Structure 1
Amino acid sequence: IENIDVTAPTVASYWGSINPFKYDAWDYDNNTPNISLTDPVNVTFKVNSSTVEGIVDTTSGVDLRGTVTQWGAGSNMVSDGGDYWSLTVALTPGDYQYKYGAQIKNEDGTISDYWENDIPGANYIGDNRTLTVGSSDMMVDLDYLGSGPDGAGSYTPTDSVDILMRVNMSENPDFDPANNTLSMVGHFPNAGQSNMWSPGTHQLTRESTTSDYWSIHLKLAQGYVDTIYDDQVADVGNPLGLHMYRFVVGDSWGGSENLNGEYVTGNENRIFMVDAGLADTTVQWVYWNNKGPEPFSPSGTLSSYTFSTSVANAIAGNGFTLGDTLLVKYGYGGTQSSAMEDTLVNSIGNIYSVSISNFPFNADLGLYYQYYRVKNGVQYRETYFNFAYTGDEQPLAERRFTSFSGVTDGGTASVTDNVPSTVDERRQPTFRNTDPLGQAMTVTYTVDVRPAYYQIMSGDTLNDIQGTLNISDASEIFTRGVSMNGPATGDWVAWGATLDGTAANKMHDDGTNGDAVAGDSIFTVQFAYEATATIGQEFKFGIDGGDNESGYGLNHIENIDVTAPTVASYWGSINPFKYDAWDYDNNTPMLSLDEITDGLTPNHFALSDNYPNPFNPVTSFSFSLPQSTEVSINIYSVLGKKVATVFNGSAKPGTYKVTWNGKDINGRNLPSGLYIYELDAGIHFKQTKKMTLIK
């Protein structure tokens, strides 16, 4: 809308003056351009998210905001892996302001959007970030998310190659920041040391007084990184630059993570690759044991739920004293909204119990829980392994479990752990005694290897989980010898030839070196301790130096009897479901093969019918041998798959009774169905019969 100049009839206009906000490249007051007419240049922004909490490259996002894009979400950055994000935009020369934003996935699946200064864990200092763009492509100096233009990064760079490791401890209810240390162990030659394989030494720092995030700043010598390939030989399981590590609560290996097989088959460590060109870097944060929060949806609520247990075995084992506080923690594995805690009360004798009102439950999930002894304000978790656990989460294998079978909404229920057993899932708790011995002493350790002998005789093999020293012949137990390994011996020794060649760890069954009786299958070794050594000790046994007693994380934890300094163990008691040829409650062989002594020698081979049939879960049958021979008693499924070997070895002439417990070779209960049992005497005789297992 213009008025005509009637003295000089003209109308002069500027294109777009009717909408100057759209035409912001022109200054309509001075009638000059607002911007340079030079070509735009590529500007690359890089930001590191290790300074805030909750961002991972798989479920989170980071974006760029400001006059470089727009003041709001939408210009998403690209994950470069780990904590690093980047975005390249085309900008014309000039001055700009910007910030970052983030999107973080919540536990319920929703997404929360944040401005940079509001991200959890942020410590934003300063106003908007500023940038001046010239006439050439440029890369902006690395920013740290949540720090602001005047804030610091997540660590202070040094002359070394710096690596920042972080772990979130929120999902480890066993970790008490007030009383526990958190450290890292690994191959890294940190700060001039040859390696970090020493629990409790290389400690992490809590990022704030209430933060769940803990971090450690590693410093690798530049020369080490530059020559990383020089002394390594690559193979399939050990590529060049491979470094293993994991996190540890406390100062013993029993408090370490176990990522068994998650990164390297048969190994419990995390991995990090060190390349010859490695520069300072941060490693994306992880949850302890890679286990994050799990949503919980109850199927009902009990009016009351009771935990009850006896501490009689714990007292007898020098691991508990009446007057100590006993806790129960429950809800592991997502079986409650979070891990809960209650104190049990000593009601009568050695019985402790607690009843909890308005107890939510999920009938499909059941409940994982654990007992804890508290002394001087420090919590000590019970020594427990769930032998029936078949899942792949190592932490849950060390928790108790109970189902909610038959439980109804609004009702009551309880779990009672008072069985005086070393195997039963409802067995009484035992605890490691962390008190000092109080005086210097020599302690005698013994191990009865008969469980190994009978397990091999049943047809099983003791597999070396860290090598090839597998034991399949029972006589090898005695010809190859037994060694003891672990902190109780001073420290862990490398399994294999190193352990087998370490004289101090060799055990004896020859009546010397503290061994009471030669040739009785009880091997002995002695170790001298200072008064400051703890009563509770951790160890493991191996034949021929191999790690062939049981799997990863299954170690003996025993308290020394200071009145008569001894620790008596049975081989394999740390995994009785594997050693199903031995009864660890009565410390006798399972009743799988008994000779019937009637003074008569059979004149022919024979296999009897089993009784009872059908059975649940135990049945027996007999067989006769007219001569000495190698005999194998096998169980097959109806499809012909061998599921168990009850006996495999030499037998003299006679009649024998066989008892089978309905379990497979790994100690797992077999389902109902038709099974075939076989007497195999090689070239002399072979016969099969059918039987029915009903549950």
Structure 2
Amino acid sequence: MRISFIVVALLLLGSSVHAQVIGPIDSNFDSFRQNGVSTIESTGDTLWISPALNTYVDGFTDSWIAPEGLDSIYNGVGRVFSLDVNGDTVVAGLGYTASTAVGNQPAGYGYYLSTDGGDSWQFSDFYLDRYVDEDTTFIYGGTEYIRERVIVPEQSPPYSVAFKGDVIFSANWASGLLRSTDFGASWERIVLPPFGTSLLTPERNDYEWFDCIETSNGVCTQSQNVYNSVQDDNLKGFAVFIDSKDRVWFGSAGGINISENALSAPTDSVIWKNINFKNEADGLLSRWIIEIDEDPTTGRVWMTNWIAESSSSIYAGLDNYGIVFTEDGGLTFGQRLIGEQIFGISFKDNYVFAAGANGLFISRDGGDSWYKSPRIVSENNILKPSVQFQSVAATNDKIWVATTDGIISSDNYGDTWQIHRVNFPLSGGNVYDDEAATVSSYAYPNPYSPEQHDIVRIRFEVKDQNNVRVRIFDFGMNLVRDIENGSRSPGNYEAIWDGLDGRGRRVANGPYFYIIEMGSRKVTGKILLIE
């Protein structure tokens, strides 16, 4: 976070947000990789972010650090899907987008592990069964059961990782819950309760998992007792968390699963309690559990709930988005932010922050009451109107929020914010493209879709104090929009255009030209607008 910004307005802004010049803005060579950031984690004063494991040490540097030795990310297809950090230990779950016969699918790639704060890394391959046509077996509680092999990484990205000591857990959709007890040297599959079963214990020997083998009109008409994480909803993993009492929490498509002994018990005797959605006032809001975290101040364990019930379910239309917390290990739940799709939760002192599709929500009293943060702007930057808030983390002095349009931070619990976005200087590019040509200006994204991108940004440099005028013209060089006409000091700036003309009408598809006049100096460029 290279420039400190001061929020000058916290009110919803009108059309001036979409057509204006912002700056001066930073032009450092070191930058994080992309503005769309889905996962962030913190430890002490250090922040780690996806998708390229960049770090920022608050108060120590003004630049983002790109760790070395990460060939699977920088020279391969791997991207960070999940993170857990504690002190100098970092566990990153990697996935990638696989091209399949049915289209692109998220897939598991492996794990990067570090015990020295990222100075060195070891890579752990994603765990798959041997490629054999037949199913295999496993033992639980002295009873042998049949399990379908997982032989491909598709649909198994590590959506969440958690560790304590040498024990690592990984929550994956089609691979369920994986565990390593030797810090990634080897992995094993952890047995989970069948969907709708409240207790998995080795004292019982008659468990039945759901594996559909025949359907009619989209409804299963015949099933068999095979442990298949692609079929049984409670085996499909979204989130895993280890709380301060060493309980392991596994969030699935079948509710929340809690274990008192999963950290150390053999795979044939891990005991789980499952809590599912039952439309109760002191229960879950729904059965898809996407993220889990614990408030260190209050001890509450929080989790996000997403709508999941199909039209054939007895609970169809009764589940809801929101977040819940429990203070008694899952016996009862408090429901909050009902109706809001929340992606991430974090805590600082007695504040709780919830990042969602519809905004950033803040509680000053441990989660009992909430307010939605007004539109987040700064003196030198803005977020696009359709921004979504994805993940939250707290360093020693700041709260950080990852968004689809950059990262924001606050050192006063959200009263004011700094906005941090990818830097790509006009001269020499950045750390990810250090051979980029020097240009006088550029527009991004380009081609530009107002519906998809909201706004297009035009970066340029003012070399001397001067009057700056920025205008947009169509192919016939007819004036479309006059964005700026005022005095600017030396520095780098960005002109913002929302694809509207001067009367607020959406312009047609085609090429558009920008002309930036700065005294006797003129800079021009082209934007291709496509809906």
TM class, shorter-length = under 0.3
How does the TM-score come out when normalised to structure 1? 0.20
How does the TM-score come out when normalised to structure 2? 0.24
Could you say which structure has the higher helix fraction?
1
Q: Which has the larger radius of gyration?
A: 1
- Ranked by relative contact order (alpha carbons within 8 Å, sequence separation 6 or more), the top structure is 2
